[in-house]
């Protein structure tokens, strides 16, 4: 009987499945707990990495935004990193504000995104720095996953790096470049932009054209604004140079050079001086406000029908010629000269570094005597000038720049001519207020006598094929500058320009297009 009971118990026990889950639960619990811990660890590491990388990117972008090539760009970049951005993280063991461990400024980014920038790409020159590499201080995460199962990886350390770059450009600039007039000197183009004494110096620029012509300091040339669409026609080029803001875009990353000469460019540029010749005499230009001249067009011209320094009543104001009876903005040079068109002053431009850069010593006294009716005193942007016409001197003896004089005449309604000083109360027969365009002087957001041009270190680039032929690889740009036309462009074979360098294109300028982007 007992044996039968034992047998029945054994059979019931064998068939009984109650409590079986407990066994599997006991066996699977370590795996499930470890898996949960692993999921938490992976999530923490991933989120920490995301927060750290976001912080590195924002710091790099803030620093890169200051790399505009100026002498204090690196100082401003460090200040931006320390004061403009504040980032924290919440997943490390010592969560809180992230800190920067190291910073490197680079001239270029590595060719391949996965490569570390080599030492030869580093720079301490604020003018050459185009990229910044930011590395954050590492942060640690203690894992929940059992160390024995993770082969001792109880701690995970993360360190994030970001590289950002600054590129500058212009939308609506003229398709032209100027060889850096300060290349090879002890003054950089960035220092010149900040120095009023340098901005007062007149620059003579010629276009060497194609053939054996060389691009050197003191020369200018053409950019191809639509190189990806094929060679831009000569008529398109003339319209681009004549219009107020052309549909062009150029960037410091690289521009393409167009070789050769383009006939009629002088006519296109000189529309800015109220001179409408050739195709620009058509109504489509004379009635279009985008082709209107500058508000001040003093250029040493007078109407063709003049006699003894006086114009006839029937004279056509738009058929003007160069004359000694009018006094334009003088070229740099010594001595009191009636006009730079006179043979006595034919070579008045002071020479330095190859006969193209003057000293800023233009005849301010004679210009004011003729064009401003023997004015005894002038206050030009905070400086009061006292004139002595007997001795031919002015106090202080350092003149303003021609651009400052030109802007002062516009802003204070003192453009030389009878409209300002009266028909019988002026020493010059020239009218400086534009007369030939149907809309008068230009009323837009830019100054029509200021050209925007890429500045290229031609000495460095002269051996590059793209400087010698069309549609080659792009040429890098040192900066984009603004150049004031002190007189109409010459009609000779080299399309001679006399300009003042008035500064670099800034982020606040209408035509400026700065870009800050992560590089890796």
Domain C-terminal end among 114, 143, 167:
167
Q: How far is CA 342 from CA 306, 337, 359, 383, in A?
A: 17, 8, 20, 31
CB distance 429 to 399 below 8 Å = no
CA distance 49 to 291: 55
Regarding whether 437 and 462 lie in a shared domain, the answer is yes
Report pLDDT for 158.
77
Q: Say if 23 falls within a structural domain.
A: no
Burial category of 482 from C-beta neighbours within 10 Å (exposed 0-12, middle 13-18, buried 19 and up):
buried
**Among candidates 485, 487, 461, 493, which has minimal Cα distance to 475?**
461
Regarding whether 230 and 204 lie in a shared domain, the answer is yes
Report pLDDT for 337.
39
Q: Say if 18 falls within a structural domain.
A: no
Owner of token pair 């009971």: 5
Report pLDDT for 114.
72
Regarding whether 271 and 205 lie in a shared domain, the answer is yes
Owner of token pair 């004279």: 315
Report pLDDT for 159.
81
Q: Say if 21 falls within a structural domain.
A: no
Regarding whether 358 and 322 lie in a shared domain, the answer is yes
Q: In this structure, what are the phi and psi dihedrals at residue 61, rounded to the nearest 5 degrees?
A: -65, -40
Q: Say if 2 falls within a structural domain.
A: no
Q: In this structure, what are the phi and psi dihedrals at residue 48, rounded to the nearest 5 degrees?
A: -65, -45
Q: In this structure, what are the phi and psi dihedrals at residue 149, rounded to the nearest 5 degrees?
A: -80, -25
CB distance 67 to 81 below 8 Å = no
CA distance 288 to 418: 26
CB distance 450 to 244 below 8 Å = no
Regarding whether 427 and 290 lie in a shared domain, the answer is yes
Domain that holds residue 420: 170-515
Domain C-terminal end among 167, 182, 209:
167
Regarding whether 194 and 128 lie in a shared domain, the answer is no
Regarding whether 227 and 117 lie in a shared domain, the answer is no
Domain C-terminal end among 142, 167, 192:
167
Quote the DSSP letter at residue 254. Answer: B
As averages over each run of 10 residues, the pLDDT of the chain (520 residues) reads: 61 61 60 61 74 84 82 87 78 76 86 79 85 86 60 69 83 92 90 93 86 81 75 84 92 83 90 94 95 95 62 61 83 53 43 68 90 93 94 91 97 92 77 93 95 91 59 79 94 80 85 70
Report pLDDT for 33.
59
**Would you state the structure tokens that stand for residue 212, as one six-digit string?**
């054996």
**Would you state the structure tokens that stand for residue 104, as one six-digit string?**
């490197």
Regarding whether 344 and 454 lie in a shared domain, the answer is yes
Regarding whether 221 and 155 lie in a shared domain, the answer is no
Q: How far is CA 182 from CA 77, 187, 214, 238, 341, in A?
A: 25, 6, 17, 29, 28
**pTM of the complete model beyond 0.85:** no
Regarding whether 257 and 144 lie in a shared domain, the answer is no
Rg (CA), the chain: 35
Q: In this structure, what are the phi and psi dihedrals at residue 13, rounded to the nearest 5 degrees?
A: -65, -40
CB distance 73 to 107 below 8 Å = no
Q: Say if 106 falls within a structural domain.
A: yes
Report pLDDT for 71.
77
Give the SS3 label for residue 466: helix
What is the helix, strand, coil percentage profile of the chain, to 5? 30, 20, 50
DSSP 6-44: HHHHHHHHHH--TTHHHHHHHHHHHHHHHHHHHHHHHHH
**Would you state the structure tokens that stand for residue 289, as one six-digit string?**
């406000």
Regarding whether 204 and 283 lie in a shared domain, the answer is yes
Report pLDDT for 112.
73
Report pLDDT for 53.
83
Q: Say if 22 falls within a structural domain.
A: no
Q: How many domains is the chain built from? A: 2
């Amino acid at each position: 009987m007992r044996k039968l009971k034992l047998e029945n118990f054994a059979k019931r026990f064998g068939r009984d499945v109650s409590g079986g889950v407990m066994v599997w639960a006991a066996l699977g619990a370590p795996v499930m707990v470890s898996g949960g811990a692993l999921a938490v660890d992976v999530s923490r590491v991933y989120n920490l990495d995301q927060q750290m990388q976001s912080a590195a990117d924002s710091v790099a972008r803030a620093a890169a935004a200051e790399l505009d090539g100026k002498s204090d760009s690196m100082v401003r970049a460090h200040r931006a990193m320390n004061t403009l951005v504040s980032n924290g993280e919440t997943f490390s063991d010592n969560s809180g504000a992230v800190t920067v461990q190291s910073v490197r400024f680079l001239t270029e980014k590595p060719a391949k995104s996965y490569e570390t920038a080599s030492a030869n790409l580093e720079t301490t020159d604020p003018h050459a720095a185009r990229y910044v590499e930011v590395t954050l201080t590492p942060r640690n995460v203690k894992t929940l996953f059992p160390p024995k199962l993770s082969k001792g990886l109880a701690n995970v350390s993360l360190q994030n790096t970001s590289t950002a770059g600054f590129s500058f450009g212009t939308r609506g600039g003229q398709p032209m470049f100027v060889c850096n007039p300060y290349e090879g000197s002890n003054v950089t183009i960035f220092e010149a932009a900040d120095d009023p004494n340098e901005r007062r110096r007149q620059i003579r620029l010629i276009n060497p054209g194609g053939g054996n012509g060389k691009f050197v300091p003191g020369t200018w040339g053409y950019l191809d604004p639509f190189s990806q669409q094929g060679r831009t026609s000569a008529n398109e080029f003339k319209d681009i140079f004549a219009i107020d803001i052309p549909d062009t875009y150029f960037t410091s990353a690289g521009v393409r050079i167009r070789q050769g000469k383009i006939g009629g460019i002088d006519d296109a540029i000189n529309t800015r001086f109220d001179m409408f010749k050739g195709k620009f005499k058509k109504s489509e230009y004379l009635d279009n406000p985008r082709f209107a001249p500058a508000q001040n067009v003093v250029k040493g011209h007078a109407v063709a029908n003049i006699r003894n320094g006086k114009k006839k009543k029937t004279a056509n104001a738009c058929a003007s010629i160069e004359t000694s009876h009018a006094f334009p903005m003088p070229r740099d040079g010594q001595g009191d000269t009636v006009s730079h068109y006179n043979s006595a002053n034919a070579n008045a431009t002071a020479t330095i570094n190859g006969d193209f850069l003057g000293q800023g010593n233009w005849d301010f006294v004679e210009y004011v005597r003729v064009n401003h009716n023997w004015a005894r005193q002038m206050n030009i942007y905070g400086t009061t000038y006292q004139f002595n016409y007997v001795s031919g001197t002015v106090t202080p003896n350092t003149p303003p720049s021609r651009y400052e004089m030109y802007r002062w005449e516009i802003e204070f309604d003192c453009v030389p001519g009878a409209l300002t000083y009266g028909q019988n109360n002026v020493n010059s027969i020239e009218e400086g207020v534009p007369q030939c365009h149907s809309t008068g002087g230009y009323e837009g957001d830019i100054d029509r006598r200021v050209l925007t041009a890429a500045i290229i270190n031609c000495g460095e680039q002269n051996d590059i094929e793209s400087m010698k032929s069309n549609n080659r690889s792009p040429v890098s740009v040192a900066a984009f500058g603004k150049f004031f036309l002190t007189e109409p462009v010459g009609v000779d074979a080299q399309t001679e320009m006399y300009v003042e360098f008035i500064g670099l294109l800034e982020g606040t300028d209408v035509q400026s297009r700065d870009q800050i982007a992560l590089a890796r």
